[in-house]
């Protein structure tokens, strides 16, 4: 955190931080802190500063973007080291993920904290994808590079399966879209016969593993078990749909400023909040918090899209924008607005990566 703060202030000095969305974010969390402290039994410290805190993960997103850009600049100054370094780096950083996957599958344990694990796993995968896509953007002709990328994505697929056994459906939804997006960005950016062939071989391998190793576990030990029984409505989807019926009563508690205990005051019950980004913003932060967030979001999305138009061949810019849109879509579909991958991505997208020097 201390190193990240120093990088942040250095980034402001170098004009690579998008200050407008950052300032809006600070105003948003100040209002949120006042809301939490005065209108609920929660502590603003846990909402903003804990390992689940909005401010913590927004800052980590910023620190990650600046750090990756700094690493990339070092490689750019020594292009001859790219070929032998990047595949090795990918393999080294993938090994802890492989070990986590193996140890959990070898001796599974029950946990009620699967949502926190799933969120952290999502951010870990995003962080590794961004690191690799940034460095791989420095062209290499080493064929081992593609193999190392496939190895990384294959291990991540196994990792996602392990997390899903903790009853997390969100990690599956994330990876179903993130995997093809990553493949398209890192492998198929330049079409060739060899790349297409390796791509189809990888897809067949993933399908083989899914059918022969993962499918039984998904249909018997997770929330997807209802599919095996002929019920095509997942319990998590049905629960979220039922919660939508209490939106108007929760929103009417405090429509202007919101109330962080809206679901309790409205009589829905503790934890019965809206599992949707815009709806939960309206009920718990009001029209003011909702407006601040979406002005900040519009600024970030517009800036990232403009960066792609001016620097379209940059893989890290393209995949960063795609992952931001994916996280936004998922948060709109099934999460409360404090979902930490969302704030990590907003922080990550607040850096002008193509302006780094």
DSSP-derived secondary structure letter, 212? I
User: Can you give the pTM of this predicted structure?
Assistant: 0.88
Mean predicted confidence (pLDDT) in 226-253: 68
At 158-186, the pLDDT tens digits run 899 888 888 888 898 899 899 988 888 87
Top-confidence range, 20-34, 90-104, 142-156, 178-192: 20-34
Q: How confident is the model at residue 49 (pLDDT cuts 50, 70, 90)?
A: confident
Q: What angle (nearest 5°) sits at the alpha carbon of residue 117, between those of residues 111 and 119?
A: 145
Quick check: 93 pLDDT over 70? yes
Cβ atoms within 10 Å of 134's Cβ, excluding its own = 22
Average pLDDT of the chain, as a whole number:
82
Cα dist from 17 to 133, 262, 345, whole Å: 20, 35, 14
Q: Which of 22-26, 69-73, 175-179, 294-298 has the lowest mean pLDDT?
A: 69-73
- pLDDT value, residue 232: 46
- pLDDT value, residue 275: 84
Quick check: 307 pLDDT over 70? yes
- Where helices occur in 229-276 by DSSP H, the ranges are 235-243, 247-251, 262-265
> In the structure encoding, which two tokens stand for residue 301, read together?
């999305």
Residue with the larger pLDDT of the pair 139 and 272 = 272
């Amino acid at each position: 955190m201390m190193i990240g703060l120093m990088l942040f202030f250095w980034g402001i000095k170098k004009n690579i931080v998008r200050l407008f969305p950052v300032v809006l974010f600070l105003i948003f969390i100040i209002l949120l802190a006042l809301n939490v402290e005065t209108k609920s039994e929660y502590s603003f410290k846990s909402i903003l500063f804990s390992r689940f805190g909005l401010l913590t993960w927004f800052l980590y997103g910023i620190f990650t973007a600046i750090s990756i850009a700094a690493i990339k600049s070092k490689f750019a100054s020594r292009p001859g080291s790219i070929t032998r370094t990047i595949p090795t780096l990918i393999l080294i950083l993938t090994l802890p993920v492989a070990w986590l996957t193996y140890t959990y599958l070898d001796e599974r344990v029950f946990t009620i904290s699967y949502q926190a694990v799933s969120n952290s796993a999502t951010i870990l995968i995003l962080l590794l994808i961004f690191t690799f896509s940034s460095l791989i953007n420095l062209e290499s002709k080493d064929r081992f590079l593609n193999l190392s990328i496939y190895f990384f994505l294959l291990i991540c697929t196994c990792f996602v399966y392990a997390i899903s056994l903790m009853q997390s459906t969100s990690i599956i939804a994330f990876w179903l879209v993130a995997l093809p997006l990553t493949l398209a960005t890192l492998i198929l950016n330049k079409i060739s016969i060899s790349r297409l062939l390796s791509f189809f071989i990888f897809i067949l391998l993933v399908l083989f593993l899914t059918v022969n190793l993962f499918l039984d576990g998904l249909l018997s030990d997770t929330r997807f078990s209802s599919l095996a029984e002929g019920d095509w409505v997942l319990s998590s989807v049905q629960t979220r749909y039922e919660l939508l019926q209490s939106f108007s009563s929760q929103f009417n508690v405090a429509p202007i400023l919101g109330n962080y205990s809206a679901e309790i005051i409205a009589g829905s019950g503790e934890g019965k909040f809206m599992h949707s980004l815009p709806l939960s913003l309206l009920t718990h932060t009001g029209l003011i918090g909702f407006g601040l967030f979406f002005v900040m979001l519009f600024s970030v999305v517009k800036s990232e899209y403009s960066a792609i138009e001016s620097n379209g061949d940059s893989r890290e810019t393209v995949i960063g924008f795609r992952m931001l849109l994916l996280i936004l879509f998922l948060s709109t579909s099934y999460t409360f607005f404090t979902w930490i991958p969302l704030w990590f991505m907003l922080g990550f997208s607040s850096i002008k990566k193509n302006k780094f020097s």
